Structure 1
Amino acid sequence: MRGRGSGKDRIFVNRSLALEKIKCFGFDMDYTLAMYKSPDYEELAFTLLLEHLVAIGYPPEILAYKYDPTFPTRGLVFDALYGNLLKVDSHGNLLVCAHGFRFLKGAEILHYYPNKFIQRDDMKRFHILNTLFNLTEAHLYACLVDFFTNCSRYVNCDTGYKHGNLFMSFRSMYQDVREAMDHVHLSVGAVGKGLVVGCLKEKTLENLEKYVVKDPRVPLLLSRMKEVGKVFLATNSDYTYTDAIMSYLFNFSNEDKADVPRRPWRSYFDLIVVDTRKPLFFAEGTVLRQVDTDTGKLRMGTYTGPLQHCAVYSGGSSDVVCDLLGVKGKDILYMGDHIFGDILKSKKRQGWRTFLVVPELARELQVWTEKSELFEELRSLDLFLAELYQHLDSGSSERPDISSIKRRIQKVTHEMDMCYGKMGSLFRCGSRQTLFANQLMRYADLYAASFINFLYYPFSYLFRAPPVLMAHESTVEHSHRDSGDGVTALPPWLAQHGDPGQQVPQDSSGEEEDDGEA
């Protein structure tokens, strides 16, 4: 088995965690245990979304659009008032603004956002697209805005489009797309009742090899986890779909050369809960019912008995999970891909230890290492900028000309961003961290490209978080603290978030463990 030398095989640490203190490993299913093949899966979802919109009255010309995996990234914000896709930092400051596929600059941005700032808590207007399922949604907004903006039949307005006596606002467009998302992501059970056509789950099950990644290391890792603790599955998916996906993931013939004996997928888990309705699951939850695994139907009444081996439950809450498994919050390490539904709520409401799956990390690490000269140039520009002001004070009339340096910083930042995709990096825009990066650092104790990276660590491992220095600690040297020239030239953003020459945060072992508080 290969080691964890490469970044994509490593686990990164925001808060120290002693793995030997974890008594229970919890998993989401979609995009965590079950990874979907990109871009095939997103292309399928995008096509189904377009078909549904046409079915409810949208122009058939939109069917000409194809999913472009280089355009969207997670963590974008859709402005339902002006129809813009925004990339923001944790405070709501704008980093990138796009109207359709056109990126706005200068005066155009100020027209919509005079302060280059948004009130993120205005949930009726600003909608954060944080999940991997949201990638197709984000791209669809861009396609629709692009189409209506350039179609001669429609008159462009700040808040939507006019066509004769009809007006379509961006808010109504958002509502239509959300309804299409709900339609496409309906349960397989609803499809079986003849209620819908064009269901993503149904189409996925028709061609599992095309859309779902099958990895023999999954049953191997779960069998090892079950030897040292308890393992549970908590998914929003229905039982019919969950059973089909998990059976596929764990069904390996001798030719597949899996390192564990073939056995039913349910035997890898101490507890299985479907239809969890996260994030509600982490609050009051819903009624806990038992699933008849022969028929897939729910049994009557609320389940009140003890935990049964290989049984499947529906609904419930995180409190019920703790009670059934006999564990408390910090005994659990929960792994998921949804920064809000899986990580933030489980951390804030239950105190669970958290592991965020970030598949994009493999690409982010590749750019980080291959384009190190750009990060180094940005660092040098910051150093040079600091030097220009080094010997000036409040009595100085001199004003250094920094216009050329600012232009170069903008050019290098743009070149860096384009290495990741049209919307730039998931984690930053030049030297500024995105909202997604801030939430990851705040709520995910650990993160990696895949949970399978646990294979490369012993269960006695202590994940040790690197020290985080405040600005006054990182820019003033200890040896010169009493002199006037103790300020280092290292810019604060580099000092706080890492020198590009250091690559990425390291996973490490040590003797201390924090309490895991966010």
Structure 2
Amino acid sequence: MELSCTFDDDHQKDGEVDETDSTIGVGGPELQDSMQPSEGPQEDDERTISITDVSPFIRCTICTGFFIEATTITECLHTSTPQPCTVKPGKQRRGLHAQSVFRIPPELDVSLLLEFVGGLVFDTMYGNLLKVDAYGNILVCVHGFNFMRGPEIREQYPNKFIQRDDTERFYILNTLFNLPETYLFACLVDFFTNCPRYTSCETGFKDGDLFMSYKSMFQDVRDAVDWVHYKGSLKEKTVENLEKYVVKDGKLPLLLSRMNEVAKVFLATNSDFKYTDPGTAHRLWQSYFDLILVDARKPLFFGEGTVLRQVDTTTGRLKIGTYTGPLQHGIVYSGGSSDIVCDLLGAKGKDIVYIGDHIFGDILKSKKRQGWRTFLVIPELAQELHVWTDKSSLFEELQNLDIFLAELYKHLDSSSNERPDISSIQRRIKKVTHDMDMCYGMMGSLFRSGSRQTLFASQVMRYADLYAASFINLLYYPFSYLFRAAHVLMPHESTVEHAHVDINDSESPMATRNRNSVDMKDSEYKRHQLTRSISEIKPPNLFPQTPQEITHCHDEDDDEEEEEEEE
């Protein structure tokens, strides 16, 4: 079996995906604590600042006070509600006068991480950032930096539900590239909401006769972000300072070399050759790949694609004409399609393991259109696993609350008039769920809210065969390793024990699949008098015989073994 891989971190247009399927998470060596100590003075002394001297400012969701954006001056430190906060000293700035003071005990040093997770949905009508589950049910709703409560949410979303198919209104922010614009949406909405010059309306803001809708704000931000990626100086600035922006991993060359020994490896990137070319100094980066494609234009790459052309690696320009020859090692190509990749590598869809970090442009399209095996890289997974293991007591408490809730109804049935008081348990479940979310950050976990999975989690489960914080984890597995998803129980399988299932002697009228229990000799074959003359020959069996050999292949990778057995 040929193994072909692709690696990419390019900006792509986003889209929509849905529902769930079996997926495997690939783990590496023991994860290190990803939380880094903050820079600046070690003493947590109090400081007075003038809020009016700083713009824009951010509202603290813990103490509801104002504090400075972390990237400009300081951090907001907090303990727990309702204790107030203090501003931790950072870079000194002139012209700060006493107006608003935040206090915290000096011995406590907990930084508030203002991080928005991926997978959020922006409502272009009301300007809200939504965290939803796989079916569109709203888990969290934020307007600017104001977390809306249940009654407020129901005013705009009566059923706490959105139609995700309405792509004109709802935009999914799925990727790492979307995180800056997600934060920018929140900053803009919060700024205009709190600015006395503007009047807040249901769908935007007014300043006299001028009206700015949330939709126009959204489009302006989207256009600006696209301009930065496609026409701005982002790539030039990145190339000028590779030491700052490119993370070096000594295990990467080793993994690529090992892959190249047992399989064919290809690179597909949406970037042009000039941006892709700056690579390793000790070895020509092209030597790690059997096929290199730049200007791939994913996700179009997985459909009709574009013309395949050769790149002059000396000038970076494209050669005239369409390339129609065989695969040549060391040649850089531009454009092409996934079908061309299969032809050049001599591989079928399921022979290819495709590695990418874009759930829509990489994983969904390659899975739905080509049937490729998919490996999704989720860098946030490292922090998710850290919280999952460090705060396991909260997850266990939530499970115990569910068990205790079920116990209250254990001896009740439809004839019972008793109504157990579950209000205290519900409040505790909400409190534990909130505490769990706050362990991850401002918007909670990327994958769940309490016991409910997010939209992003459902996308991962459906379209990614493998996922991990880094594809370097493959270094710790043999290339012959058979990845199998953990057995996922359905609710009726996980809540009922086999020993407690009562089997009635009388056969259920709906149990048509239990064919072996039907005695065909005792069954009467009744027909109407008019149909009796058509045929007097009774079939030997009403049902076909139950197969005595294996006919249901649960793993398509077993096909080759079956063919060998037949030979």
Q: TM-score, normalised by structure 1?
A: 0.78
Q: Which moved more, 1:286-295 or 1:77-86?
A: 286-295
**Aligned-pair distance for 1:321?**
0.8
Equivalent-residue separation in structure 1 for 2:119 and 2:352 (angstroms)? 26
1:122 aligns with 2:153: no
Equivalent-residue separation in structure 2 for 1:83 and 1:154 (angstroms)? 15
**Aligned-pair distance for 1:357?**
0.3
Secondary structure at the counterpart of residue 287 of structure 2: helix
Residue of structure 2 aligned with 1:344, choices 364, 381, 386: 364
Which amino acid in 1 is paired with 2:301? F
1:328 aligns with 2:348: yes
Paired position in structure 2 for 1:311: 331
After TM superposition, the structure 1 = structure 2 runs for residues 353-372 of structure 1, keeping only pairs within 5 Å, are 353-372=373-392
Residue of structure 2 aligned with 1:375, choices 379, 395, 412: 395
Paired position in structure 2 for 1:444: 464
After TM superposition, the structure 1 = structure 2 runs for residues 15-414 of structure 1, keeping only pairs within 5 Å, are 21-30=1-10, 70-186=114-230, 196=232, 199-244=233-278, 247=279, 250-251=280-281, 262-414=282-434
Equivalent-residue separation in structure 2 for 1:128 and 1:114 (angstroms)? 21
Contact 1:281–1:318 (CA under 8 A) maintained in structure 2: yes
Equivalent-residue separation in structure 2 for 1:349 and 1:23 (angstroms)? 18
Equivalent-residue separation in structure 1 for 2:355 and 2:125 (angstroms)? 35
Paired position in structure 2 for 1:464: 484
- Residues 1:39 and 1:99: Cα distance change in structure 2 (over 3 Å): farther
Identical aligned pairs, as a percentage? 71
Superposed CA deviations along residues 260-286 of structure 1, whole A, max 9, x for unmatched, are xx4210010011111111111111111
Equivalent-residue separation in structure 2 for 1:143 and 1:380 (angstroms)? 39
Cα RMSD between the aligned structures? 2.2
Contact 2:113–2:442 (CA under 8 A) maintained in structure 1: no
Equivalent-residue separation in structure 1 for 2:365 and 2:305 (angstroms)? 12
Equivalent-residue separation in structure 2 for 1:151 and 1:214 (angstroms)? 44
- Residues 1:243 and 1:319: Cα distance change in structure 2 (over 3 Å): same
Q: Which moved more, 1:309-318 or 1:143-152?
A: 309-318
What is the count of residue pairs matched by the alignment?
421
**Aligned-pair distance for 1:61?**
5.2
In terms of Rg, which structure is larger? 2
Which amino acid in 1 is paired with 2:4? C
**Aligned-pair distance for 1:288?**
1.5
- Residues 1:339 and 1:360: Cα distance change in structure 2 (over 3 Å): same
Q: Which moved more, 1:340-349 or 1:61-70?
A: 61-70
Equivalent-residue separation in structure 2 for 1:272 and 1:216 (angstroms)? 22
Equivalent-residue separation in structure 1 for 2:448 and 2:179 (angstroms)? 18
Equivalent-residue separation in structure 2 for 1:442 and 1:158 (angstroms)? 36
Paired position in structure 2 for 1:494: none
Paired position in structure 2 for 1:454: 474
Which amino acid in 2 is paired with 1:421? G
Which amino acid in 2 is paired with 1:301? G
Equivalent-residue separation in structure 2 for 1:480 and 1:27 (angstroms)? 50
Contact 2:2–2:347 (CA under 8 A) maintained in structure 1: no
Superposed CA deviations along residues 290-349 of structure 1, whole A, max 9, x for unmatched, are 211111111222222222211111111111111111111100000011111110110011
- Unmatched tracts of structure 2, length 5 or more: 12-33, 37-53, 58-67, 72-111, 505-552, 558-567
- Residues 1:93 and 1:303: Cα distance change in structure 2 (over 3 Å): same
Secondary structure at the counterpart of residue 463 of structure 1: coil
- Residues 1:70 and 1:483: Cα distance change in structure 2 (over 3 Å): farther
Which amino acid in 1 is paired with 2:555? D
Larger RCO (CA under 8 A, 6+ residues apart): 1
- Residues 1:340 and 1:39: Cα distance change in structure 2 (over 3 Å): farther
**Aligned-pair distance for 1:70?**
3.2
Contact 2:302–2:338 (CA under 8 A) maintained in structure 1: yes
Contact 2:9–2:357 (CA under 8 A) maintained in structure 1: no
- Unmatched tracts of structure 1, length 5 or more: 1-20, 32-37, 41-59, 191-195, 252-261, 485-511
